[in-house]
Chains A and B, each alone.
Chain A
Amino acid sequence: MWLSGGFFLGWAVGANVAATVFATAVAARMLRFSTAVELSIVFIVLGGFINGPAATETLNRLGPVATLPSAFTLAVVSAAVITCMSALGLPVSAAQTGVGALLGYQLFQQGTISTPAQPLLRTIMITWICAPVFSALIAFLLYKATVQVFRRLPMPIFLMDQALRLGLILAGCYGAWAFGGNNLANVVGFYASQDLFAPVHIGPWVISQSRILALLGGFAIAAGIASFSHRVMLTLGRDLVKLDAITALLAILAQALVVDFLAHSWEFGKHTLPAIPISVSQALVGAILGIGMARGIQTIKLKILGNIIVAWITAPVFSAGLSYLLLRLAHRLA
């Protein structure tokens, strides 16, 4: 029963956030919605199963959730904030609502954020700010490189169409894979410290609890994509298609590169950058701005930047506040 909160969260993420990767292809009517759903599900589940545990571990280090009812509450809060902010048209992130909910939990438990969690929290926040910036930079460079390639190797119009079409599908698959690896933690992270499943032995392989959770989370996201993401895909896709197919392709690719990079932990000399769940929609907006700059469009839309900043602040704050209040209420009623 307590896992249903995680399923609700997975569903909310699937319905509202995961749609970004195939939005362009579906809105351009070059890929059937059903095919986009199938590809999203396969690659999100695969990416989550293979790469997901790293970011889940990061969230677990930020503040392990002690009881199943608390994990349920945090998952429901996170899902509710995602659903409400998406309805308001803000580029919401499951990572930001998830971390916010965990902070609310720590405030409820300890009245403060624990000292060991503070450096990790700083790293996470800096990464959230840097991710759209890096996404913009990668998109800028990708665009410049693409221009050079097209100038040197002019392509027949139909071949270019085919290449872009295939590129959009492949970039979508990669985006789904990266999304699964990076963002599945937001769905299953609250349950990571619970002892829920015994490891499963299949021949020489042992499937740990974190991978079983990743699979379940992947299926919950799949349910969200299959049931409610069509409208989001069309809305997002139409906005992206206005930019043209090349921009959409490069933006998705740049976003996926950043998201995939942050699905793994990296060693830089003595420093370690842990796998950090980030906002895929904010990385995508960053990439689109990067391409805009590469094209010489000087006017960055302040409204878009404003929305990102609003989401940066409001998502964790709402999540933290709501989880704190609900946990306190539950504690009083118990």
Chain B
Amino acid sequence: MKKYFFSLFGKQQEIQNKLLAYIEHTETMALDMEQAVGAYLSLDEPEFSKIRARIDEMEHRLDLLRREIEEEIYGRHLLPDTRGDILVLLESIDKIPNRIQALTREMALQRVQVPEILHPSLRNLAERDVKIVQVMSRAARAFLDKPDQVKPQARELSYYEHEGDLIEQEAVALTFADNSLQLAHQLQLHRLIDDLGSICDIAEDVGDRLVIAALKRIL
């Protein structure tokens, strides 16, 4: 019986450590994405490819880690409520590495030429993405450690998401205002801006889900 209890609680610690590692790797991936955007805009092809390879590898590692966590969660290790909350957290955060990988892949495949006038907006948007992923990670850690502190982080997420929206709108407006660009090119740029801005939206969604799960926990 003693062995049973200790193995059970040891497993919980293991799941928590893996979750924290998952959150940390997601943050690292966001930083890589910002560097990838910088390299892409500077037309530094070798650097961009190097970062993209790193992102692909990290996304694969995160997939494996997510599966490991899910398998352990579905074992006899957590109560149904906790199991549900952790799975929601994991599934919603998982959209960020997937989106980052898809974004850099599209950049590599489409090789869209970005006019100089859009560079500051795209750099700003990538920077906002990093910032919002960092706040989201703080919120996720708070959910695991101090669920009552998730709400203020979620408010911060909404603030950054709004800022991201403004930058995105400005970039789209600049794209379509430039008459020297062909419509197809404009639409390609629009999609790139959309994809970059969507990371803010996903992070805000994670925050909303965390707030609901945390409210449920603090009775």
Contact = CB atoms under 8 A, between A and B. Distances in A.
Given A151-B218, A151-B219, A158 B80 contact: no
A11 B9 CA distance: 35
B85 A157 contact: yes
Interface residues of A, number: 23
A164 B79 contact: yes
Interface residues of B, number: 26
A304 interface: no
B12 A158 contact: yes
A162 interface: yes
Nearest to B74: A29
A318 to B, nearest CB: 37
A158 B218 contact: no
Interface string B139-165: 000011111100000000000000000
Nearest to B80: A28
Contact of A161 (B4, B5, B79, B143): B79
Given A28-B79, A30-B76, A150-B219, A157 B9 contact: no
B8 interface: yes
A160 interface: yes
A154 interface: yes
Given A147-B219, A157-B85, A162 B145 contact: no
Contacts of A164: 79
A241 B146 contact: no
A151 B218 CA distance: 7
B4 A241 contact: no
Given A147-B219, A150-B219, A158 B79 contact: no
B169 to A, nearest CB: 37
Nearest to B216: A244
Contacts of A80: none
Interface string B75-98: 010111110011000000000000
A35 B4 contact: yes
A115 to B, nearest CB: 52
B113 interface: no
A147 B76 CA distance: 27
Contacts of B42: none
Interface string A270-282: 0000000000000
A327 interface: no
23 contacts: A28-B80, A30-B76, A30-B78, A30-B79, A32-B76, A35-B1, A35-B4, A150-B219, A154-B146, A154-B218, A157-B82, A157-B85, A157-B147, A158-B82, A161-B12, A161-B78, A161-B82, A162-B9, A162-B12, A165-B79, A244-B81, A245-B80, A245-B81
Interface of A: 28-30, 32, 35, 146-147, 150-151, 154, 156-158, 160-162, 164-166, 241, 244-246
Rank and list the top 3 A-B pairs by shortest CB-CB distance, nearest first.
A161-B82, A154-B148, A245-B79
Given A158-B13, A245-B81, A246-B219, 8 more contacts: A30-B79, A32-B76, A157-B85, A157-B144, A161-B78, A162-B12, A244-B81, A245-B80
